[in-house]
Structure 1
Amino acid sequence: MPATPDDAIDYPVCSTPVPGGWQEVAPGVLWIRLSLPFQLDHINAWALDGGAAGWTLVDCGLGDRRTFAVWDELLRDALGGRPVERIVATHFHPDHIGAANWLVERTGAVFTSSLTEWLFARMLSAGTDAATDAAVERFYRRCGLASQTLDALLARKGAYSRGVPGVPATLTRLRAGDSLAVGNRLWTVIGGSGHTAEPVSLYRPAGGEGDGNGDGLALLISGDQILPRISPNISVWPTEPDADPLTDYLVSLKDWAALPADTLVLPSHGRPFRGLHRRADELALHHAERLAEIESLCETPRTAAEVTQALFPRPLDPHQTVFAVGEAVAHLNHLIRKGRLDRVSGGGKGGPDIDLYRRRASG
């Protein structure tokens, strides 16, 4: 494959697997497509051939019967009935970790992820208590959501555990900088933050002469940290209402500059692509434009719900609304941290329990 310059994005893999299907994208690397029951209707999983040791699976789809049935076929057909050595979850979201416990029990594989992502998954899959439920309601009420929308979001209680019915009880921890041996090749754990607190990406440099697999391809399994066509969701959640994940994400984007520009990126959604540096620049620009738009909106004091509606004017279902509100608050919190906005609590339009955001006067 010819090199891709920094200022271009291309898609060198011409075809896309059907749902439940797979294809090889590099020697010993299978691209698996799994269906999701959302507007974002698929997730990519990756199977890495470790030779005699068995396969390494990266991400695994939801923990539902349909996905389990697909994996039964994949284990037999795509993976040839050979052992599965490990399951890697890039992060705790249900489409990435949902089927992990079932796969561990089915195959005897070792489960690996970062400690933070595993702990989040264990906590959320166990359900909530009254204090957490109250914090969730307080967070969305302060956002100024209409009562019908608020009721719909609160009715989603237990949604995580429905997609993640179990999480592996033991973990082999991955840290940024760790090496993961798959066959005779080493993958390096790339850290980051923003989309979640401690996601895992895996990087494999191009094969060198004499390593027995000189394929000339540098590969990055990026999870949701960098995607080819959509912006990864950067959200604030009710349990950490003052967080600033956008700062973490923008720092993470800069780290991709250390990788070769022609790295083939294997994302969790969309198609494999090259043009890593260009895509990182596009995502940074996207957030800069969002921040400028919100700052301008807040010349007049706004609720988080009003900012959400301005950023996402199309109709949203409750699942989408959760992510849209979280993203709006993430940008608002970032502007507060930068000294560009003030948050006024306990008064103003909508009642005493609703926060307003207003642009801070210069000087």
Structure 2
Amino acid sequence: MPGFLRPLTRAVTYTRGAHLLIGSVIAWILAMVHPGLSRPSYGMWLLVLADPIPLLVLVAMVPAVRRAEGLQARMMLFPGPHARVEGGQDDPGVSVAPSASWRDRARTAVWLVLRVEAGCAVVLLTGQLMGVVFASLGASDEPADSDGLILPVVRGWAAAPVGVVALLAALATVVVAGRMLAWAASRLLGPSPAERLAAMEERTEQLLERNRIARELHDSIGHALTVAVVQAGAARAASDPEFTARALEAVEETGRAALEDLERVLRVLREDEQPVSGRPALTDADRLLQSARASGAKVDVEVSGPVERLPGPVSREGYRMLQEALTNVLRHSGPVPVRLRIAVDDARLVMNVRNALPGAAGSTGRGGSGLRGIRERATLLGGRATTGPHDGEWQVHVELPLK
């Protein structure tokens, strides 16, 4: 099928035509009363177009009108699941929220006036063109009634081709007018600056929440798998039933904690109404230290200051940072001595994790997503985190403000 005829096979072409026709109805209803349509003059036609404007402006002041017009525009002006158009979109950028400001009401008023005037213009023009078509159909028998037609009616052998051209012109008018009205709808009924800002903030919140969940799963599941791998390797190498029992106990405990974290995250994703268990905080760090020691690491801990009085976000994020730091030690350095220093004062939390580097192997491959997650967590809380070799050791240094 030729490209210029393709719009005739699309449902959206006819829904747009219906939208234009519906928009002109109010003008014709008012015209029946004033000035009447009995042989109207050009001045009367202009009056028909002008009569609805005050009423439309008044109606546009009602906030719900913008919502109703947005719903109509979405359904009838834009390709979607109902239209056979490639690349159809479910969200064409037309708002369905009520007017929230005078700017929204003004844009709605302009849209209503444009919709009615465009509908009237299309009805008048297509009516003239279809009149030419019908007049040309009767040209071979006897002269057809051409009263009310502004366009000339061709008689004789040229009537048929002129009728075809008039029919195509009427269809083209509907197609072009529909596209122009859709373009205007996306600008006059599109989201206001406040709505765009709210949508952007919501999208940002969603992305932040996804990143947080991804970090939670990475830290929790990564720690559990690392401990399981280290413990399984150590138990196989030791060939000691008592050591194997302790290793399996450590794997069980770490796996249980990871399953609790996974269940909590899944409940959040499912929007489950059941209460969600609290996230672990820095006061729960003993189980991290126990799993690290059970894996063979010698952890030396020094804590100063009231850790239990840390603000919730700082304490929870501090726990995850410590979890990732210990996981990093076990994954890349193995069971080596680890020094952990936690200091809390009135202004900040300082956490420092240092471990020996087993030769060149420990100094490479330590810049993965886990360490990046530590730095991201610190930045979101207004603090800072540094990771890397320091005086022949690997160091994770975190400073978080308490306010």
Give me the TM-score of the superposition, normalised by structure 1: 0.19
Decide which structure has greater helix share: 2
Give me the TM-score of the superposition, normalised by structure 2: 0.18
Decide which structure has the larger Cα Rg and report it. 2
Decide which structure has greater strand share: 1
